[in-house]
Chain A
Amino acid sequence: MASASSVAPATPRVGAGVHPWVRFGVRRLGRLLVSLWVLVTASFLMIHLIPGDPVRGALGPTAPASLVAAKREAMGLDDPILVQYWHYLQGLFTGDLGTSLISQLPVSQIVSQRLPATLQLALLAFLVAVAVAVPVGVSLGVLTRAGHGRRTELVFTTGSVVLGTVPDFLLGVGLVYVFGVQLDWLPVAGNDSASAYVLPVLALAIGPAAILARIVRVEMVAVLEADFVRTARAKRLPRRTIYLGHALPNALTASLTLGGLFLSSMVAGTVLVENVFAWPGLGSTIVSSILTKDYQVVQAVVLVYGVGVLLVNTLVDVALALLDPRSTIRED
């Protein structure tokens, strides 16, 4: 394979005439669309994969058969599956997500009421995690570059593994106990005041921040050993230029490649954290809906979460392409 791979970069490829950014955009969009389709189909199939009759399950064994039949009729569950699929897709395009079996409210209304709180939580946690992780990771990377700070490295690595392992809901429970029950400093439920944001955001951000900081440190250490850093030293540039100008962009691209998944996992992390803090968002909605078997709502919320994850992943890819000029070519 050696010769084939060394041939490749020098030889023109498909669509070489097109600007690489256009090629990148088309490819990335294609991937997003395929993933979206899989997501939509999976959420559609979810109801059909549930053993037994979902309507009967939701209304309970005591509900009259006529009511169940009427509901099935209204939801179109008696139509052929492809027809249902078609209606489902149509509904999605017109913003119609069906009606809740339990509350009788339009699902789209429930989602739009609940979405902002979840978005706020996820976005804030994301910003906090990145704002903490990058400077911490970079400075520790410089401090623990090869041959330096063995002890610092051990303490930091152990600490970040521990913090990264503690699941957000346990962290949440711990924070509730310390700051709510013991100290009574901060509110532990709802999102009525600014101070109510502190604990949920911390519970959500600390784990990913620890993991991300660890990744940034490892990448920084690796980049500081790269040949091009030696070149920068051979040019006798000042330390700051070497660290921030040469090492940092490369460390960030590598970190983002590895850490992108953790960022999108924060979107889903809201599910558990919201339940600890009684946060009026989608996370508490989905759990209560699963327990009450309100499958129409579950379906819609799964879809919204999935779309959120896909958007974050796409953003990470675009950021990577901006940071690293090779990534548009690396695509395949």
Chain B
Amino acid sequence: MQRWKSVLRTPLGLTATILTLAVLVLAVVAPMLWTGDADAVDTDNILSGPSAEHWAGTDNLGRDIFFRTLVATRLSVELALAATAIAVAVGLVLGTASFLLGRRSGRLVTAGINIAVAFPGILLALFFAVVFGVGATGAVLAIGIAGAPMFGRLTQTLVAGVEARDYVAAARVAGVGRVRILLRHVLPNIAEPLVINATIGAGGALLSFAGLSFLGLGVQQPSYDWGRLLFDGITSIYVNPAAALAPGAAVLLAGLALNLLGESAAKALGVGVVGGIPALPAVARVAPAEPVAEGAGHEGSDLVLDVRDLEVTFPGPTGPIRPVRGVTFAVRRGEAVGIVGESGSGKSLTALAVSRLVAETGRVDAERLELLGHDLRGPDTRAQRRLLGTSLAMVFQDPMTSFNPTRRIGGQLAEVSRHHHGLDRRAALGRAVDRLRAVRISDPERRARQYPHEFSGGMRQRAMIGMGLMGSPALVVADEPTTALDVTVQQQVLDLLAAIREQDDVALVLISHDVAVVAQVCDRVLVMYAGRIVEDLPAADLHTAARHPYTRALAAAVPDMETDLDQPLAVIPGRPVDPADVPVGCAYAARCPLATARCREQDPPLEIDAAGRRVACWHPGESPESGIDELGSLAEVEAS
């Protein structure tokens, strides 16, 4: 109910609610108050236009159109609600049939719904109007039954959505019967969209009813609803336009009110507006061509990437949110640097920020952000785009969604060279085939002509790497490149990355949640927590010489093939920090067994030692006095 109140908070929702209530009140009181006025025959004023006496003029018997329109509210609303009730009831039966009946009979019902739903409602309504006869009852049945397939389809889709959830499977495994599952699990979870759609449906029924009555197929004299008044009024539209416009406006207002109520409820309940970080395209401003200054400025230095005090800020509901808070690191030519951390630690956003792919709403600030000596903080010029497009290769987590499903793989690779190297179509495609071969895709000519869905997961990821090789990259940024892949395929992709690195001395930034993967592939590891680097150490030291308690816990929390089977696994109590609510002091203090008062007050700086290792901790390398109470303490801490 709390959520439904949010509907009233939007101006549109409020207006729609008030209008709907007004229509309902009018439907109740109008016939009680004004039936006499509506039926009174004024023979002196037949077919007259609007006047002080008759606000909307009179009809061919001299009856007052305005009052007739008000009184017609009840019949119009009643008929619409009756038709909606029929549509919803029949639709619910049809829509839940396949859930209750099981696969085979269900399929038949589905096929029936699919055929019926293909025919527009008005056509079905006409069909049933013929069968049920011209008149109000016939029209109610016609519109109700004509609306049923749509509702059946909707119910079916919603039921299927809930049915696919594991809690339905769990209830079935627990021996709960189908009817009971439907009542306890399925219907409560689909009630909201059903009610919303029924509201919209009622608006639609009101309008359809007016349509049928307007055709003369609905309400018959001497009864009248809005559609009937409209039907009578349109014949005299040149004499008294108000006779058609008044009922027309009434039906429109009522129909819109219900429809907008449904729409704004859907919006208010369905869409959580803020939160999450949207990935959206950057505005690639088309700048006039500039001479490309290739390679200038990085001679002498072997730094490929140089990042100092990088911050990423997003606007939030209660003020700016800063998921990356001052990250400093550098990557040398040919070096492989891993970034590890839990979800929400800012590791992926760091990768997007250094490759200038952060969503437009986000702001990237840095004291220094240089790729091959070029400052990336400047405006998005053609030169910068060419540098990034050819010297930086990106590999994303999900190779299925990272390719455009409607275009051939070869074309998607060739695009890079056509745009950045000015190659023609044929030459660019030739290079694409060559690159596919380079990433060990067999029969690359044929593969280049295929669509992404025809590739297997591992092959897609290799093609994605091949896309990065269309230029001559100095840096590959790979964001969880193997998370979506199977272990054996994961190994092939990691091997490929290693081979590329070796061949051309390409630097690699590998983002992963998997400590084991990073330890295998990388020379150096950056551990991130709550938007900061908390430790920077050689990969070989991860399991043996880590000094930050978070790094040590992270390495010990996941079993590997050498884990001691007699000991319980290390546990990090509590939850990761919410970027919108970063505590003062060390962000890890609440989960840290070593935390002292100082940790909770002062954020430790990232200190560098003589060997070039960095750590941000007030108690680096200390071990907790008593071992972590594995599960006992967990319940309380996590319950907070």
Contact = CB atoms under 8 A, between A and B. Distances in A.
Direct contact of A and B (CB under 8 A): yes
A147 B210 CA distance: 41
Contact of B126 (A158, A162, A269, A271): A271
B361 interface: yes
B416 A235 contact: yes
Contact of B284 (A42, A242, A267, A287): A242
B130 interface: yes
Interface string A244-275: 00100110010000000100110111011001
Interface in A172-189: 173-174, 176-177, 181
Interface in B68-101: none
Contact of B133 (A50, A249, A326): A50
Query: Which has the most chain B C-beta neighbours within 10 Å: A241, A271, A276?
Result: A271
A175 B591 CA distance: 69
B260 A161 contact: yes
Nearest to B450: A325
A208 to B, nearest CB: 11
Interface stretch (A67-75, A131-139, A305-313): A305-313
Contacts of A305: 123
Interface stretch (A21-29, A82-90, A104-112, A221-229): A221-229
Contact of A298 (B121, B122, B130, B467): B130
Interface stretch (A58-66, A93-101, A163-171, A193-201): A163-171
B256 interface: yes
A228 B405 contact: yes
A170 B210 contact: yes
Given A50-B131, A167-B210, A271-B126, A232 B388 contact: no
Contacts of A177: 237, 241, 244-245
Contact of A272 (B211, B256, B453): B211
A4 interface: no
Nearest to B456: A10
B445 interface: no
B175 to A, nearest CB: 20
Nearest to B400: A227
A273 B16 CA distance: 28
Nearest to A182: B241
B121 A231 contact: no
A290 interface: yes
B118 interface: yes
> What range describes how many residues of A lie at the interface?
35 or more
A80 interface: no
Interface residues of B, number: 80
B420 interface: yes
Contacts of B244: 173, 177
A17 interface: no
B402 A291 contact: no
A239 B359 contact: no
Contacts of B497: none
Contact of B453 (A35, A42, A50, A329): A329
A126 interface: no
A165 B256 contact: yes
Contacts of B256: 162, 165-166
A224 B396 CA distance: 16
Interface in B357-397: 357, 359-361, 385-386, 388-389, 392, 394, 396
Given A158-B260, A241-B415, 8 more contacts: A38-B115, A147-B278, A162-B260, A232-B404, A253-B406, A291-B217, A298-B130, A325-B453
Interface of B: 12, 111, 115, 117-123, 126-127, 129-131, 133-134, 164, 203, 207-208, 210-211, 214-217, 230, 234, 237-238, 241, 244-245, 248, 251-252, 255-256, 259-260, 263, 278-286, 355, 357, 359-361, 385-386, 388-389, 392, 394, 396, 398, 401-407, 415-416, 419-420, 451, 453, 456, 464, 467
14 contacts: A35-B118, A46-B131, A50-B133, A146-B361, A162-B256, A225-B279, A228-B403, A228-B405, A234-B357, A249-B407, A268-B123, A287-B216, A324-B406, A325-B453
Sorted nearest first, the 9 A-B pairs with minimum C-beta distance are: A236-B389, A147-B361, A268-B120, A265-B120, A236-B385, A227-B401, A146-B278, A234-B394, A228-B404
